[in-house]
Structure 1
Amino acid sequence: MPPVLDDAEPSAAALRSIYAAAFASPPWHETPDQIEAFVGRLPSHTGKPGFRCVTAYVDGEPAGFAYGFDTPDPWPADRFYRPIADALGGDTSALRGRFEVHELAVGPRFAGRGLGAALIRRVTAAAGPSWLVTSPAATAAVRLYERLGWSRLREFDVPRQPLRTFRVYLSPEAPGSSESP
């Protein structure tokens, strides 16, 4: 049976089960505490302007999701936002006010079925220029984004993170994208 993509607001339990399956394994190795922190962030994310989420179900089972929201302007100073701004020399104009794909997760049992591509396309379909962050160590994600025409804007490091190096990618329709490190 083909996957069903659902734009309705999903339950936190469905997102948690997918997130745990996707991010507890390599290269992320997220701990139970980190997974619960994701669940704790959900209410603040769902309330952000422009929030949209798409969930994929295979045979009625939650298999993947993608969500995001409009990047706040002025630029936030929390979590990864500060290191991104530093890597861009303080010029965040290519990202501010655009749609940020904040999470994309596909359960390992459902990988290789095109769910990631379907989810990223669906969540960004009406968004216009979009951006996201991933680790170059997440090779399947990097291949997916680059195959879909997303371009690397910049790499940056976040000290005290298990995966230290991250990349900012711009969607194909985002002007000013480049292959600069």
Structure 2
Amino acid sequence: MPPVFDDAEPSPAVLRSIYAAAFTPSPWHETPDQVEAFVRRLPSQTGRPGFRCVTVHVDGEPAGFTCGFETPDPWPSDRLYRPIADALGGDTSVLKARFEVHELAVDPRFAGRGLGASLLRRVTADAGPSWLVTSPAATAAVRLYERLGWSTLREFGVTRELLGTFRVYLSPEVPGI
């Protein structure tokens, strides 16, 4: 049976199960508290302008999701936003008015089937120039983004995070990059 993609309002329980499966193993090592923090952030994210979420099920099981929204303006200071702004010397103009791919998660049981690429293409379809952040330690994600033509804008460090180093990627539609 082929994968079934859906862009209807996502179920928090489905997103939680996929998020936990994708982000508790290496290299992310997210804790149960971090998984619950993701779930608690969902209502504020679904209300953001331009919010989109796409899920995929394989044989009736939740296999992956991606979600994003228009980059907030004014530029936020929570989570990784402040270190991103610092890495860009405070000039976030290249990211403003762009679609932010906020999460992309595939349950490892379903990896290697092209689901991540399909999810990313679907969530950014008609969104215009987009951006996202990942860790270079997430080698499968890095390979995916680079294979799809996404380019590194900047790499930056965050000492309070387990992984320490992150990259901002721009979609291939960003002119001049």
Q: Same fold (TM over 0.5)?
A: yes
Q: How many angstroms does 1:175 deviate by?
A: 2.0
What secondary structure is seen at the aligned counterpart in 1 of 2:9?
coil
Gaps in structure 1 of 5+ consecutive residues: none
Residue 2 of structure 1 is matched in structure 2 by 2
Paired with 1:32 and 1:128, the residues of 2 have a C-alpha distance of: 34
Contact 1:50-1:69 at 8 Å conserved across structures? yes
Matched, 1:98 2:98: yes
What secondary structure is seen at the aligned counterpart in 1 of 2:117?
helix
Contact 1:129-1:173 at 8 Å conserved across structures? yes
Residue 128 of structure 1 is matched in structure 2 by 128
Contact 1:94-1:176 at 8 Å conserved across structures? no
| Alignment-mate amino acid for residue 141 of structure 1 | A
Matched, 1:40 2:40: yes
Give the aligned length: 177
Deviations 1:149-174 (A, max 9, x none): 00000001112111110000000001
What secondary structure is seen at the aligned counterpart in 2 of 1:127?
coil
Residue 22 of structure 1 is matched in structure 2 by 22
| RMSD over equivalenced CA pairs, Å | 0.7
**Superposition pairs of residues 59-74 of structure 1, within 5 angstroms:** 59-74=59-74
The two structures have a TM-score, normalised by structure 2, of 0.98
The two structures have a TM-score, normalised by structure 1, of 0.96
Residue 175 of structure 2 is matched in structure 1 by 175
Paired with 2:147 and 2:99, the residues of 1 have a C-alpha distance of: 20
Contact 1:18-1:65 at 8 Å conserved across structures? yes
What secondary structure is seen at the aligned counterpart in 1 of 2:30?
coil
Gaps in structure 2 of 5+ consecutive residues: none
What secondary structure is seen at the aligned counterpart in 2 of 1:86?
helix
Matched, 1:156 2:153: no
| Alignment-mate amino acid for residue 99 of structure 2 | F
Paired with 2:79 and 2:121, the residues of 1 have a C-alpha distance of: 25
What secondary structure is seen at the aligned counterpart in 2 of 1:120?
helix
| Alignment-mate amino acid for residue 152 of structure 1 | T
Percent identical: 82
